[in-house]
Amino acid sequence: MTDFTNDRITKAVPVSNDYRGMKTEAMILQKKGAPFMMASVVIWTLVTIVRMLPADLMTKNLYTFYCPALLIPCVLLFSKMTGAHVFRNRNNPFNKLGFLNTLNQMLYLLIVMWAFNQKPEAMLMLFAMVFGAHLLPFSWLYESRTYLVMSLVTTFGSMIIAVFAPEVYVGLFMIVCQIVMSALLLIECRKLDRAQKAEVEL
């Protein structure tokens, strides 16, 4: 009978002692994803403008899909403005996890694509709910209550607004949520920077 002890497991699967350091590095370099949230303000502003156009619903839905194409250019712009480095140090597994969580949204968008033809009047609501839901894992990655709370607020809030009010209010709601979220994340980053400086001085 093989004696498969914990000691053998530890030797076979090395565990990094710098877990906390790598996670902190990811939070600092990426500014807790703040550039992405700031870019989302631009995206949702464009989406809202599209929903106000004097066009038929299918046309507005199609133009809505075009708006996220500006995400990466906006992220790069806001990264320079905030001093973030969202694509630096890809060897850090936490940086890779952040990118994977972002890509995960692409799978959810299949639901939105289904609604484009089958339930066009619900497409914007589903788009907003998908966006809000994909934020939840970042609450662990960036140790941020902002992501946790705003994920729930945007997901349930957009659904409730879509049921009781015209769809343009969903867009306005998302703009406000993203502005608030961006501000709160920048505040969190400032506190993190201060904590790191204090730790270095000690």
pLDDT digits (tens, 9 = 90+) for 101-111: 777 777 888 88
Answer whether residue 6 is part of any domain: no
pLDDT, one tens digit per residue, over 122-155 is 999 999 999 999 999 999 989 999 999 999 999 9
Confidence at residue 16, expressed as pLDDT on a 0 to 100 scale: 47
Report yes or no: 34 and 186 within 8 Å, Cβ to Cβ.
Answer: yes
Cα separation of 63 and 60, whole Å? 5
143 assigned to some structural domain: yes
How many domains, in total, are found in the chain?
1
The answer to the question of residue 63 being in a domain is: yes
CB 70 within 8 A of CB 42: yes
- pTM of the entire predicted model: 0.84
**Helices then strands, each counted (H, E), the chain:** 10, 0
Instruction: Count other C-beta atoms under 10 Å from residue 132's C-beta.
Output: 21
Determine the structural domain holding residue 33 and report its residue range.
21-201
Write the pLDDT tens digit of every residue in 18-44: 777 888 888 888 899 999 999 999 999
pLDDT band at 5 (very low <50, low <70, confident <90, very high): very low
Within-domain flag for 15: no
In a domain, 11, yes or no: no
In a domain, residue 14? The reply is no
Spell out a b/e string for 166-198, using b for 16 or more CB atoms within 10 Å of the CB, else e.
ebbebbbbbbebbbebbebbbebbeebeeeeee
